[in-house]
Amino acid sequence: MKLQLLSLYISFLLFTTNCSLEAIETTKTLKTCSRATSASASSSTPLNVNMSLVGTVSDITSVVWQISKNGTEYYKSTTNISPFSLTSSTLTTDGTFTIIAQVTDRCGSNYSLTTSYNYTTPNSLVVAMVQVEGGTFQMGSTTGQSDEQPIHNVTLNTFNIGQYEVSVSDFKKFIDATGYQTDAEKNGGSYVYDGNLWPYKNGINWRCDVAGNIRPTADYTHPVIHVSWNDAVAYCNWLSNQTGKAYRLPTEAEWEFAARGGKLSKGYTYSGSNTIGNIAWYGSNSGNITHPLAQKLTNEIGIYDMTGNVWEWCQDLYGTYTATNQTNPTGASAGVNRVLRGGSWFDNTQDSRITYRLNRDPTNRVSNCGFRVASSL
């Protein structure tokens, strides 16, 4: 009987000891498991979404990635990999997606990390471009303003330029995808036209029309205005990242060559005609407002609105011309102001000539200035 009791006592001790050891081991294991601190999602090209966990991931055994928008699930899968890349075509629609990483670690702990991702489908970012065959032309004018002189030979490589000015709708995609704040939004406002003067008004930005009123969606086919050179460059950089193509503003020389009609130029005063009303919205026919893109005739190589509607930012720093022959010039080597070309809905015939030059500070924004994009081949 004593032996039986002793045996039972020893078994009890062994059982409780094992339980204590397991509890200690579990406690030790839990203490040694580190957690990821957050989830992130980004895109290097429009073809994929890269999702990853931030922090220590060595103790993670599995991750369930779940992507949804407005309660609709677009993707859910299990992988032991972080980072994880998903083909963006899975998303099938533009907008802000919620991404949840459901994490399990080797200690048996489960926790979730959430982030968001703004996605724009590549096919909604198709940019209509016109290829301008390279060549040599005489840049400038003998009869214009002093800064249009002297005439000088310029040789350009073949390049692409936007067939249209960037519209309000185009620019809205950029803002929606990035949350970017324009110079007008960061610095208080923009210059508007009140029918007589150009007062500076607070609260005016790219969403507004010439007078500073919020545009209806019906106006989203108009060129975007109240945007600075800085804003135009930011748009080009975003567009490049989203499409995998290198977009930029045209150089001043590229702009003038394209406006002249490239190698098909007929020597017109305005881009596509000597009769400005056929190809442009300008001071005498615009009604002092912007107009939808591509309502007038194109120039010799199929580009719309190179004259009128809005002034267009160029890449170059503003500077004086020299008589020296140049190849692919990129403007002055020093200075502050950037070049604008083309005239606008407000301007007279003299200021709407192909060779006329304007320059402004890169933060400047006005209700008659916009831009178009270009790219090298």
pLDDT band at 48 (very low <50, low <70, confident <90, very high): low
Q: What 3-state class would DSSP assign to 146?
A: helix
Q: Reply yes or no on whether the pLDDT at 80 is more than 70.
A: no
pLDDT, position 30: 47
Dist. CA 9–CA 357, nearest whole Å:
101
pLDDT, position 172: 95
- Contact indicator for 294, 164 with CB cutoff of 8 Å: yes
Give pLDDT tens digits for 134-180: 999 999 999 999 999 999 999 999 999 999 999 999 999 999 999 99
pLDDT, position 4: 52
Q: What 3-state class would DSSP assign to 313?
A: strand
pLDDT band at 23 (very low <50, low <70, confident <90, very high): very low
Query: What does the mean pLDDT of the chain come to?
Result: 87
Q: Which of 31-35, 61-65, 358-362 has the highest mean pLDDT?
A: 358-362
Q: What 3-state class would DSSP assign to 299?
A: coil
Q: What are 154's strand-pairing partners? A: 137, 326
Give 231-238's long-range contacts (Cβ < 8 A, gap of 24+).
231/180, 231/182, 231/183, 231/184, 231/206, 231/365, 232/166, 232/313, 232/371, 234/174, 234/180, 235/166, 235/171, 235/174, 235/371, 235/373, 236/373, 238/174, 238/177, 238/178, 238/180
Give pLDDT tens digits for 89-123: 456 566 788 888 888 888 888 889 898 887 765 55
Lowest mean pLDDT among 15-19, 82-86, 196-200: 15-19
CB contact burial 289-301 (16+ within 10 A = b; e otherwise): ebbbbbebebbbb
- The whole-number average pLDDT for the span 296-316 is 97
pLDDT, position 21: 43
Q: Reply yes or no on whether the pLDDT at 77 is more than 80.
A: no
For residue 364, give every residue at least 6 positions away whose Cβ sits within 8 Å of its Cβ, in sequence order, or none: 228, 229
pLDDT, position 248: 98
Q: Reply yes or no on whether the pLDDT at 19 is more than 80.
A: no
The model carries a pTM of 0.71
Dist. CA 260–CA 282, nearest whole Å:
18
User: How many Å separate Cα 149 from the centre of its chain?
Assistant: 35
Give pLDDT tens digits for 254-283: 999 999 999 999 999 999 999 999 999 999
- Contact indicator for 130, 160 with CB cutoff of 8 Å: yes
Dist. CA 111–CA 36, nearest whole Å:
10
- Contact indicator for 176, 119 with CB cutoff of 8 Å: no
Q: What are 162's strand-pairing partners? A: 129
pLDDT, position 25: 44
User: ω before 83 within 30° of 0 (cis)?
Assistant: yes
More confident position, 303 or 11: 303
Give pLDDT tens digits for 56-69: 888 888 888 888 88
pLDDT, position 291: 96
Dist. CA 198–CA 337, nearest whole Å:
20
More confident position, 126 or 243: 243
Q: Reply yes or no on whether the pLDDT at 235 is more than 80.
A: yes
pLDDT, position 13: 44
pLDDT, position 28: 44
pLDDT, position 145: 96
pLDDT, position 123: 53
- The whole-number average pLDDT for the span 285-303 is 96
More confident position, 98 or 224: 224
Angle at alpha carbon of residue 296, lines to 293 and 299, rounded to 5°: 100
